Amino acid sequence: MFSPDRGHFHHRLLALGFKQRHVVIIAYTVTGIVAGLGMLMMVTRSTNSLVIFFCILLLLLLTFRIVGSVRLHETIAGLQKKYKFASQYRRERMNFEQAQLYFYGAHTFDQWWAAVCEAAQRMDFAWVSLKTKDKDGTERTEVWRLADAQADLSKIIVVTVPVRGNGSVRVMEFEIAILVNGSLESAGHRATLFSRLIDDFNICQTIMK
């Protein structure tokens, strides 16, 4: 259901020996039956129509099960995975919006760095380091590290995020280490949100003058 393979309904019918034309006829017939049941439920409210509906629905499910196109465990696992990622995506988006509030209130470098640390904490980062190099060659590094001793630091993604500098700061970049927490897609999404925070607020031009 969630990925292309040869286990779908029409492939299963072909594997059972049906010709392509017959498979198409069966598919259209099943579609017509389901559509007819839907129309029947719209125009009738009797108990008999409900019984007929569920009996035919059960028969269709049994047919799909026999053919092998309905794999219940895989379907449930796929739905659970999609629901889990959707919930995680909403939570990450909410953390991003809350982190924005800290940046809005930042008017000094220390306040801005505190906002960076807050964002890193909310986005499940292992560490964040900010490296700057001025025109005169002076280098400076700010580092934040996760204080949670229970975090799994064996699975992290390290990403370098360049930052636009101003006249006094020639080179400026972040190195962020993101906890995977079971999903590479989630880690990539959090890296994107953090990069957007840094880009949207353009702190080099507004604070480090």
**Cα separation of 145 and 78, whole Å?**
35
* pTM of this prediction exceeds 0.75: no
- Element spanning 139, H or E: strand 139-145
pLDDT of residue 140: 84
111 and 197 belong to one structural domain: yes
Instruction: Please count the structural domains in the chain.
Output: 2
99 and 162 belong to one structural domain: yes
Task: Please check whether residue 82 lies inside any domain of the structure.
Answer: no
CATH of the domain at 200: 3.30.450.40
Q: Which domain range does residue 199 map to? A: 88-206
pLDDT of residue 205: 55
Task: Please check whether residue 154 lies inside any domain of the structure.
Answer: yes
Q: What is the mean pLDDT of each run of 10 residues along the chain (209 residues)?
A: 58 73 78 76 70 75 61 66 85 92 87 92 92 78 82 82 65 85 85 90 60
118 and 186 belong to one structural domain: yes
Of 150, 85, 154, 161, the residue nearest 120 (C-alpha): 161
Of 27, 107, 97, 113, the residue nearest 67 (C-alpha): 27
100 and 150 belong to one structural domain: yes
